[in-house]
Amino acid sequence: TSRNPNEDEFHQAIFEVLHSLEPVLQKNPHYIKHQVLERLVEPERMITFRVPWLDNQNQIQVNRGFRVQFSSTLGPYKGGLRFHPTVNSSIIKFLGFEQIFKNSLTGLMIGGGKGGSDFDPKGKSDEEIMRFCQSFMTELYKHIGSTIDVPAGDIGVGQREIGYLYGQYKRITGSFEAGVLTGKGLSYGGSLVRKEATGYGLVYFVQEMLKQKSLDFNRKKVIVSGSGNVSIYAMEKAEQLGGTIIACSDSNGYIFNEKGLDIQKIKQIKEIENKRIKHYLEYDSNTTYVDSCAGIWSIPCDIALPCATQNEIDEMSAKQLVFNGVLAVGEGANMPCTLEAIKTLQSNDVSFAPAKAANAGGVSVSALEMAQNRSLPWSFETVDTKLQQIMKDIYFESLETAKQYGEPNNLILGANIAGFIKVADTMIAQGVI
Ligand code: NDP
């Protein structure tokens, strides 16, 4: 903590991983001898830069840009870009650190990275977003490339932003290098299923986890926080599997309907009309809107899928979920549960799917997008089948590892250890670098 002062989220992410790794280090002291942990917690590179841009009033605005290139042990750095006013070096480092283990779990050749800016896309015009993206890429292009570092989207960065970023990269470098960014539009190298991948992947993972207890999504009441990319497709897949989505949110509040929400209407509001979630009430007056998102976890449900942001389920919310008889919690967002919340859920026998494993579907399909950029595009079914298989493999690898270390119900332990061992062994094989 003295080396990285005021980086609470980064400390939290490291603490969770280190705690899980204690039994591995006891069993394999050569990881200590090779100082694997000391090396892993220090990013290979952290780039911070100025992003000046002109707003619609011709005023100069200045934001801060980040890219952390955390680990290239298993492949080119890979991880999304987040545009949100809360972005700072702690957030970027926690996300980049987690990405190393997540990417390792996918079994694909991708290292760990993350980036973004404290730019707030809310309320900005299309032209302002474009000018911001162009300025951001004018610095970032120096550090990325299809075999070096391949950014993607995250909060506030979807296909529109990736399009502007890609256009500027192409313009500066003068080359059409499709594999330099993922999450692209289909007409210039994007992959089918990329936009669905994280949400669908989360539900595939939770489905496997429920099977262990002879349960499924059918007729279960599901709450999904957020109403962005991950949330929408988690809702869509959970509904396809027979679940009833009773609540979702945005950062202003949540909507709730015991009988179930209409996911296609939510898609229309969020993806086409670009409006706030409260506008759902214009379609359905039987739905309730609550003007704050904090209370969403107090609604009784069977399955909770936090898909908005970090630390959205604290100990109190976890206790409330347990009190209401929740069966499973699946982390769609990165680190949405605090350490205390996880402890509460696990000690009350709630099946818990940790983010590193459960939300790895997005980056997996990003890696499949990179593979298609080197060959030919695949059909929706082909990519979806591969995604299902990857999520199943991650689930069973996490489960088997957890069993091997004597805690069969602890998928956090299993996922952290399985992800770590692959990276650690490869680091040792590659020498002191
Ligand atoms: P989006 O920007 O598409 O959606 C984010 C959603 O969460 C929005 O509904 C947003 O509401 C809400 N939200 C964001 N910040 C807050 C906050 N501080 N408090 C309450 N609600 C908030 O992002 P994604 O769906 O892409 O990402 C969601 C989470 O999933 C993040 O943790 C991300 O790191 C993680 N993730 C995303 C992947 C992907 O493929 N996109 C892959 C793996 C993980 P509002 O519109 O009001 O801001």
Q: Which residue among 251, 291, 292 is best mutated to probe the pocket of ligand 1, counting the most ligand atoms within 8 A of its Cβ?
A: 251
| Per-residue confidence (pLDDT) for residue 311, from 0 to 100 | 97
* Domain containing residue 287: 195-349
Cα–Cα distance measured from residue 316 to residue 109, given in angstroms and rounded to the nearest whole number: 39
The predicted-structure confidence for 111-163, as pLDDT tens digits, reads as follows: 999 999 999 999 999 999 999 999 999 999 999 999 999 999 999 999 999 99
Cα–Cα distance measured from residue 355 to residue 344, given in angstroms and rounded to the nearest whole number: 17
155 alpha carbon to ligand 1 midpoint, in Å? 4
Indicate if 114 and 204 belong to the same structural domain.
no
Q: At what angle do helices 361-374 and 89-105 cross, to 10 degrees?
A: 70
Number of domains in the chain: 2
99 among annotated binding-site residues: yes
Q: Which residue among 154, 182, 249 is best mutated to probe the pocket of ligand 1, counting the most ligand atoms within 8 A of its Cβ?
A: 154
Once rounded to an integer, what is the mean pLDDT over residues 364-370? 98
Indicate if 213 and 158 belong to the same structural domain.
no
Indicate if 141 and 218 belong to the same structural domain.
no
User: Residue 52 forms beta bridges with which residues?
Assistant: 62
Residues near ligand 1 with C-beta < 6 Å?
153-156, 198, 226-231, 250-252, 293, 307-309, 332-334, 359, 362
Indicate if 131 and 16 belong to the same structural domain.
yes
**Cα 138–chain centre separation:** 25
What ipTM goes with this model?
0.98
Indicate if 119 and 249 belong to the same structural domain.
no
284 alpha carbon to ligand 1 midpoint, in Å? 24
Indicate if 205 and 339 belong to the same structural domain.
yes
Residue nearest atom 10 in ligand 1 by C-alpha distance: 250
pTM, two decimals, is: 0.97
What phi, psi does 87 have (nearest 5°)?
-65, 130
| Per-residue confidence (pLDDT) for residue 302, from 0 to 100 | 98
> Which amino acid is located at 211 in the chain?
K
Q: How many CB atoms lie within 10 A of CB 281?
A: 13
Indicate if 119 and 91 belong to the same structural domain.
yes
198 among annotated binding-site residues: yes
In Å, the largest CA–CA distance within the chain is 63
Indicate if 45 and 123 belong to the same structural domain.
yes
Residue nearest atom 4 in ligand 1 by C-alpha distance: 228
In this structure, is residue 394 part of a structural domain? no
Which runs of E-coded beta strand occur in 198-348?
Answer: 221-224, 244-250, 253-256, 288-290, 303-305, 328-330
